Structure 1
């Protein structure tokens, strides 16, 4: 009987400890409308205070370059899911940092694309300290990633980061950062006068809406968008964006280091359509690729090939012309407290979320090049929300390219009407609570008004 009493006391004590922990760790979801929250007023004020870039002093100059950042040794695979940071064993594709440098005498901008699943927040923080080495600040840089789920990991500390990208290695952060800076330096050395052209073609049949399994959904943004820079010599660079989620490598196929279809696409474009190509993942939130092939490798080759054929038909019709318009805006983004839900409508408290993931600042970016505006988001941004922004830009006579992964990472941003659905995108990956779809749309529309 004495043993049973002791066991009962131990179990009762454990229950009390668990209840105390839950009381400190969990709280109800905060569903206060975003317009009533302090972060909204703060971000609106920051938006109002943004100033446009100085006027051009000469025609647009551009240079471009890429730097191989493939590690010399095996690393964790960065890409969620079944990979869970498993080390890749076979090099399928080399990994690059690519940069296009632009200058009109009043403004300098570097467009950077990483062959990674996201732009690691740790790399962003390192760049903010080191960009003066190449004569730039964070406000001069437009970042993005290809979003391959089979690329290099090891760049994220803490538990959540290691579930995404495997065990943390500070040397990997330095290697990526060094590669970005080297690509910018090399691009700066190749700058010459350029003319620009915009083009787009439809590939809506190549994506589907993953949220459709949880109920009705809206229209996705399925356009391939292209921005061409052409030097007097005829040398050209092609910036390409599309919303197909690069998940053609299955999660159980983590033995390969791969750029997925964006890598195959860029390689083909550099053989047939341009001397240099750079891919930025578009509004990939909630999209799935519609692929064909019996193996992952066949799917990648076929998917990239189908996109390339459409691009190759579009590029010859794109007529370049001189335009010195160049402007970039960086909007520091206020957010609701973290609201990742764990049980019902109960969420993890902020202290625990930050302990597990970290507290990284996030921005919205707007980059105008001629009559084209790129809007960069720190998330997997919904293809449905991007489709709703397109007519707003069109009314202003602007071409719009919405991209994801601009330097921070805050999970998925999806339409507010889906918030209560039981789906991965709006449940597991919605980290900052309700109403962010409308909040992002409002701030991105404000950036379009500012940069117009």
Structure 2
């Protein structure tokens, strides 16, 4: 009996070998093709100057439970509740006949398709343009990104009902904010605590600067924008509930203290540090949020004046061909490229936002500290916003990609990625009227 099985296996072995070889050859075929290189194209530009009005709102982002918890590789838990509520928070700004919106979502990322849906619905509120951003919490709901690589690596199986819930919450927040417009003054300041954020992957060290912008109405603060750079990864993995991590808790604390609707916006990223947060588990998350709230309150604010500049410009940048060489073994490089090609956008949006003295470049991914510094140098911006209007993954400098340093081992594209984004950033910086 054993000898007959062995003989059968020997007879099938060439067929198995041929099948495996054919599958390998098929997967290694260049299905990706060549990707055209072209100059970035300006797709939107609005500018105004004068007395500022603002409105703000936050809307509950209620997941259609049960939902997968996004943020990490499989296996992922399925959640049936939110211990701390998720929200969509929006600010609408208006001056000189120009009205723009910012909406921050308690999500891991914002796909470009989702951003486009939100922007389309926002037209009903008279908004000239909208910037859609994610807080980047690694413990929120998933199911809203249809790209295969995103589903496999972070967000879980795509669900249209999840997308509709997120779109509706973002749109409602923008509509309510637009309906609440009132005259405001603008105040801007900074505070710094280097120990609040640590370096990622041995790259450049973040400086821990928190920029605070307050929109103050006649009777109370309408809204507060907090710009900081730290991955929200404090919630323990594999927990079967959705959670906004420290950004949601920080926003809630500031709102309780009378700062108005508070948007926490990510910059060039490091990791949130637990050095100032006592306890374990969710106690640690709350501790970090409390320390951040105290840091925000310590920022010395300076009034901007009655005349405020406001601008938002966006441009499409052609992406370089995906490159899986740092993500998979060399023998499967071609197959890895093909997998990425099916999910990687051929164009990505880069934005530029001006609010008084703040001149910010917005990129659709996670720029490293070094990449952020390069974007500042190229554009003269005062800061960088990440996780905006799309997602192309990590963004590293060409030198770090070629040397295998920093975040390059997780970058989906080759060394040319930052250059493509930088050229588009230069275009939108000019369109938005960045100060030379």
- TM-score bracket, shorter-length normalisation: 0.7 to 0.9
Please tell me whether residue 411 in structure 1 is matched to residue 393 in structure 2: yes
Tell me, what secondary structure is at the counterpart of 1:118?
Answer: coil
Q: Which residue of 1 aligns with 2:61?
A: 69
Distance 1:203 1:449, change over 3 A: farther
Query: Alignment partner for residue 235 of structure 2, among 232, 241, 249?
Result: 249
Alignment length, in residue pairs? Answer: 423
Q: Which range is displaced more, 174-183 or 234-243?
A: 234-243
Residue pair 2:198, 2:205 contacting (<8 A) in 1 also: no
TM-score under structure 2 length normalisation: 0.87
1:390-429 mapped onto 2 (5 Å cutoff): 390=376, 400-420=382-402, 425-427=407-409, 429=410
Paired with 2:89 and 2:271, the residues of 1 have a C-alpha distance of 25
Paired with 1:201 and 1:388, the residues of 2 have a C-alpha distance of 22
Distance change (3 Å), C-alpha of 1:324 and 1:10: same
Q: CA deviation at 1:436?
A: 2.2
Structure 1 length-normalised TM? 0.85
Q: Supply the distance in 2 between the matched residues of 1:238 and 1:363 (Cα, whole angstroms).
A: 25
Q: Match for residue 3 of structure 1?
A: 8
3-state DSSP of counterpart to 2:299: helix
Counterpart check, 1:160 vs 2:149: yes
The aligned residue for residue 195 of structure 1 is 185
Which residues of 2 match residues 36-51 of structure 1 at below 5 A?
Answer: 39=37, 41-43=38-40, 46=41
Aligned with 1:218 (options 204, 225, 231): 204
Q: Do the aligned partners of residues 290 and 384 (structure 1) sit closer, same or farther apart at CA in structure 2, a change above 3 Å counting?
A: farther
Q: 1:19 corresponds to which residue? A: 24
The RMSD of aligned alpha carbons is 2.8
Q: Aligned in 2, Cα 1:76/1:98: closer, same or farther, shift over 3 Å?
A: same
**Displacement after TM superposition at 1:27 (Å):** 8.6
Residue pair 2:192, 2:209 contacting (<8 A) in 1 also? yes
CA distance 1:202–1:171, change in 2 (3 Å):
same
Residue 412 of structure 2 is matched in structure 1 by 431
Paired with 1:71 and 1:8, the residues of 2 have a C-alpha distance of 50
Q: Structure 1 residues 201 and 298 mapped into 2: Cα distance closer, same or farther (>3 Å)?
A: same
1:26–1:348: 8 Å Cα contact kept in structure 2? no
Partners of 1:62 and 1:191 within 8 A in 2: yes
What's the offset of the Cα at 1:320? 5.0
Whole-Å separation in 2 of the counterparts to 1:202 and 1:384: 19
**Residue 309 of structure 1: how far off its partner (Å):** 1.3
- Post-superposition Cα deviations, 1:376-403, rounded to whole Å, max 9, x if no partner, equal 110011122223445667xx6x6x2311
Q: Which of 29, 50, 53 does residue 46 from structure 2 map onto? A: 53
**Deviations for 1:116-175, whole angstroms, at most 9, x for unmatched residues?**
1111334224235433333346xx111211111001111122532222112221011011
**Residue of structure 2 equivalent to 1:118:** 109
User: Once the 2 structures are TM-superposed, how far is the Cα of residue 53 of structure 1 from its aligned partner?
Assistant: 3.5
1:353 partnered with 2:353? no
SS in 1 for 2:101: strand
Q: Note closer, same or farther for the CA distance 1:191–1:256 as it changes in structure 2 (3 Å cut).
A: same
Aligned partner of 2:310 in structure 1 is 326
Residue 33 of structure 1 is matched in structure 2 by none
CA shift for structure 1 position 324: 2.9
What are the ranges of 5 or more consecutive residues in structure 1 without an aligned counterpart? 31-36
Q: Find runs of 4+ consecutive structure 1 residues off by over 6 angstroms.
A: none
Shift of residue 273, structure 1, vs aligned partner: 5.1
Deviation (angstroms), 1:360: 6.8
Shift of residue 67, structure 1, vs aligned partner = 0.7
Change (3 A) 1:204 1:161: same
1:311 equivalenced with 2:293 (yes/no): no
Question: Secondary structure at the residue paired with 2:46?
Answer: coil
Matched, 1:368 2:350: no
CA distance in 2: counterparts of 1:12 and 1:376, whole angstroms? 50
Report deviation, 1:282.
1.6
Q: Distance in 1 between matches of 2:214 and 2:330?
A: 48
Residue 287 (structure 2) aligns with: 302
Answer whether contact 2:44 2:314 (CA < 8 A) is retained.
no
How many Å apart are 1:354 and its aligned residue? Answer: 4.0
